[in-house]
Copies of this chain bind each other. A is one copy, B any other.
């Protein structure tokens, strides 16, 4: 039995999303986080990307537990897909488990799941897992100290070092130090903002800005779009509404559900009578509408308002609309369109650089430096980032005095090993991206994705070629096509295409396809997917 600790990330290394890290020692492993990734713009038709679970499934007898750092989808969203096939206790803080419970309920998996509150120490095989509080954009977030037979690991999870967080709970570096009296062997640190200089602003600045905007909007309706999970900010807004004598109405399913959950669990204090139904006819100047849709999501409440399709809320000239959420890279165009539509309807929209109505939930370079200096790990593995973030985080660690050879840039599937003295990487798994498309999980592969990419650019042409038993043309070839050109207006092109078929059809489908592809490219400089189909009659 190996006396080494193995750290094997299945996600989060080289991407922001699908965070999942395996810690393995001998015949024991634990999983930290189990998240999804939201698709990039050119992952056509894909709803979600999951980590490749094969290694866990192959070793499920070793699995002692799954520990969650917080309730964001990129840390818990893949649990319903893993728990279909794996039975292990899941540990988390109350709010995190509340959010997990809802996901498992939707997937009809709750009854068979084993959810356990994360205590001060959890003994999972040879691992002792000890949480410490961190400030992040969702309450009840923790980092983990994982004691192993070869030394202590610090797994920061997502964090910022906010000394005045809206929820009152900051990253507890003192507790972290107390939990690691013998020092830290290796730290896996959040790299999200490794390209952002300085400190991340405190959430308190957002509260101040919103207070000022509430004053300025006197007499007009206020609509605020934010992430439904930023509960501390939602709390601030509810307090501000009370202060400025406004009622609060909610729109957007996830927002309504999260606020309900957070109230039940005591994470949100809602003064009596302040919440009103979105259907109620509250005078505009007495109302704050809290809405989903800060990312311009097509079916979100705010986007429906922007498009004039929201059933209860129609944007009026004079409405103040506040986008209290940073634009996630890749969403700029859809967010931009939504903003345009809101302005066109006469709203006064506050977004982007115009006022500090949002701050990141992740620490910037100086926060990261403070964390590195507090933890002083022997080895350091930048986590939770694309390659550029990981590299910049490693360089930052080197600025704090770490040797370059003690910082490790891993990929998903890398196997990092340590015997407590030295550390190395070894082998590594070949992982697949697991795409979720509607009901299809893992059935959409690279080939289908490449086809979609090509179809999106130039469409397709299916050529139907009637032939007799002697392989002679027995009728006029036909074209079926979409996304290429208007067939109706392209008589000449199609006639010439048929001529190509007459000339090349005896050479077999592969050569005919190439001939047609070349022909269409010469004529149009487009490359539709061409599929010749011989039809025997």
Contacts and interface: CB of A to CB of B under 8 A. Distances in A.
B344 A448 contact: no
Interface stretch (A27-35, A115-123, A126-134, A432-440): A432-440
A451 interface: yes
Which bracket fits the contact residues of A?
35 or more
Between A45, A333, A341, A489, the greatest number of chain B beta carbons within 10 A of the residue's beta carbon is seen for: A45
Contact of A485 (B444, B466, B480, B482): B444
Contacts of A440: 485, 524-526
A333 B41 contact: yes
Given A330-B333, A439-B523, 18 more contacts: A45-B456, A45-B457, A45-B526, A196-B353, A332-B332, A340-B386, A340-B388, A343-B388, A437-B458, A439-B524, A448-B484, A452-B456, A452-B457, A453-B456, A455-B455, A480-B531, A482-B531, A537-B537
B462 A452 contact: no
Interface in A309-344: 329-330, 332-333, 336, 339-344
Contacts of A344: 387, 391
26 contacts: A41-B42, A42-B333, A44-B457, A45-B459, A329-B333, A329-B336, A332-B332, A336-B388, A339-B388, A344-B387, A437-B458, A437-B524, A438-B524, A439-B523, A439-B524, A439-B525, A440-B525, A447-B486, A452-B455, A452-B457, A455-B483, A460-B460, A462-B480, A482-B529, A482-B531, A537-B537
Of A40, A439, A453, A482, which is in contact with the most chain B CB atoms at under 10 Å from its CB?
A: A482
A486 B352 contact: no
Contacts of A143: none
A445 interface: yes
Contacts of A386: 336, 340
| The 4 residue pairs across chains A and B that have the minimum distance between CB atoms | A438-B525, A456-B456, A340-B387, A455-B455
Contact of A443 (B341, B390, B448, B486): B486
Interface in A182-207: 195-197
A455 B443 contact: no
Contacts of A343: 387-388, 390-392
Interface string A480-500: 101111100100000000000
Given A333-B42, A535-B464, A353 B443 contact: no
Contact of A351 (B195, B391, B444): B195
